[in-house]
Homo-oligomer: A and B are copies of this chain.
Amino acid sequence: MTTTRPSPPDAATLDYETLLREAGVRITRPRRTILAILRDHPDHPDALEIFRRASAVDPSISLSTVYRTMRLLEEKGAIHRHAFGNGPSRFEQADGAHHDHLIDLDTGDVIEFSSERIEALQDEVARSLGYEIVFHRLELYGRRRRRD
């Protein structure tokens, strides 16, 4: 079980701009701005929050461009989209290994973790039902245990 990101976001090693350009995606100013935000903040912002952060850098950016860009990046596999609770979609850069999320019900904090054993059991369950897992969603919602 691990709780830290496998590798801290490293601007030098993870060059989505180049990757995307090679995939035929035009690197425009809004896209560059959004990519930088996702690279530099390892949290899980929603579209509006990304818009706010982007506006601070480039006030001419529009919310629809944020949404369009998030969809593009998701299609290209550069980000993951989550829907915690019933709230808006929240995003994170897709670099690093797969992980699941524990959401702090009191603070809203999102803690990443991964468990090979749980993954293995999920596969086992699916297989026994005649299925092959394409992706899954595992979210734990809880509160800090009071130290007594």
Binding site for B on A (CB under 8 A): 1, 3, 83, 86, 89, 102, 104-105, 111, 113, 115, 117-118, 121-122, 124-145
Copies of the protein in its oligomer: 2
Instruction: Check A117 against B121 for contact (C-beta < 8 Å).
Output: yes
Docked pose: A139 CA to B137 CA in angstroms: 5
New contact pairs (18) apart from A130-B145, A136-B140, CB-CB < 8 Å? A3-B129, A83-B86, A86-B89, A102-B131, A115-B125, A118-B121, A121-B121, A126-B142, A131-B142, A132-B142, A132-B145, A133-B141, A134-B142, A137-B137, A137-B138, A137-B139, A137-B141, A138-B138
Q: What chain B residues lie within 8 Å of A122 (beta carbons)?
A: 118, 138, 140
Q: What chain B residues lie within 8 Å of A83 (beta carbons)?
A: 83, 86
Q: What chain B residues lie within 8 Å of A104 (beta carbons)?
A: 131
Instruction: Check B134 against A105 for contact (C-beta < 8 Å).
Output: yes
Docked pose: A78 CA to B61 CA in angstroms: 45
Q: What chain B residues lie within 8 Å of A3 (beta carbons)?
A: 129
A1, A137, A140, A145 pick with most chain B CB within 10 angstroms: A140
In the complex, residue of chain B having the shortest beta-carbon distance to the beta carbon of A136 = B140
